Structures are given as structure tokens and as C-alpha cells.
Amino acid sequence: MKNRLILIISLVLMALIMMSYASRKPDSRSNATSSAQEPTPAPVVEENGKLAPQRQTMGAVEVQVTPVRLEANVQPVLKLELNTHSVELDFDLIKIMQLTDDLGNSYKPLEWNGGSGGHHLTGEFSFENLKSEAQTLSLTLSEIDGQTAEFMFEIGGEKK
């Protein structure tokens, strides 16, 4: 009888452990390329007509891009925030970013005012003037903790 009780308790414990293991979500650290394979989110327009910030995780770095100014024939300005607790943010951001429009034009970053290093960076980028015919912009950041991410924005901030 005692052996039977021990066997039943052991089986119940094993079943609980197996159910707990099966219901766990995959650990984001075990699949380092997951954020690079996720589809690029569509631009979100807030109630005031401005584009909402976009967030993506690049390895161990949380990245947020917020449009400050996106208008045709004007220098676009994007606010960039990088936050992490394990990666040194000493990237040359001007070299690892690319801004392109839906017509295939590339825009060179002119200025970054957020510095480098540490675990938290916030600053703004300005770029060359946008072409008047362009409708959308794509900001690509590469090699942030081994990842590449793309952020999409509509020029003018409002959906037509």
C-alpha cells in the first residue's frame, strides 16, 4: 500500500512538471533572430494625426523610434531611444542606419545629438530633405546586438 501511494504521488508530480513545462512560452534569449524575422509593423496614427512611436527588440536592446518631423521637401527628424541592461551602446549610429523612401531614394543622416555609450541613449537624427513625391519612409537599423530592424512611417503623419 505504501509503495502504491508513493508511485501515485510520483506520477502526479511528473504530470504537473510536464504540464508546466509544456505551457511555458519560448525564452526570447534562446531565439536571438526572432525580432529580425518578425514582420515590420504598419505605421500607427494617433488621434491627433501624428505618427505613434514604434518599438522593437533587437537582441537585448529595446529600440523606440518616434517621428518628430516627416514632411516632403523638409529635413526629416526622428527621435531614437535605446535601452538595455547588458549591451554597451557604443555604436556609430550614423553608420548603422539607413533611411529610404518608397521610391527607392536614400537619405543620408546629417546629425545625431544623442551621444554614445552606456545603457540608455536618447537623441534625434536629422536627414537630407525628403523628395516631394515620396509617400512612406523606411528606417533600417543594423548590427544592434547582432540584429537588424526596420521601422515604417508615412510622410506627413496622416493617413490619406
pLDDT digits (tens, 9 = 90+) for 65-95: 999 999 989 999 999 999 999 999 998 999 9
Domain boundary assignment for the chain? 44-154
Instruction: Give the cell for residue 125.
Output: 537624427
pLDDT at res. 1: 75
Percent of the chain with pLDDT over 70: 74
Instruction: Tell me which residue of 70, 88, 91 sits closest to 142, measured CA to CA.
Output: 91
Cβ atoms of 130 and 101 within 8 Å: the answer is yes
Q: Which CATH class is domain 44-154?
A: mainly beta
| Confidence category of residue 45, pLDDT binned at 50, 70, 90 | low
The pLDDT of 39-57, averaged and rounded, is 64
- Tell me how crowded residue 75 is: count the other CB atoms within 10 A of its CB: 15
Query: Is residue 53 very low, low, confident or very high in pLDDT (cuts 50, 70, 90)?
Result: very high
Specify the amino acid at residue 136.
T
Closest by CA position to 31, among listed 59, 64, 62, 57? 59
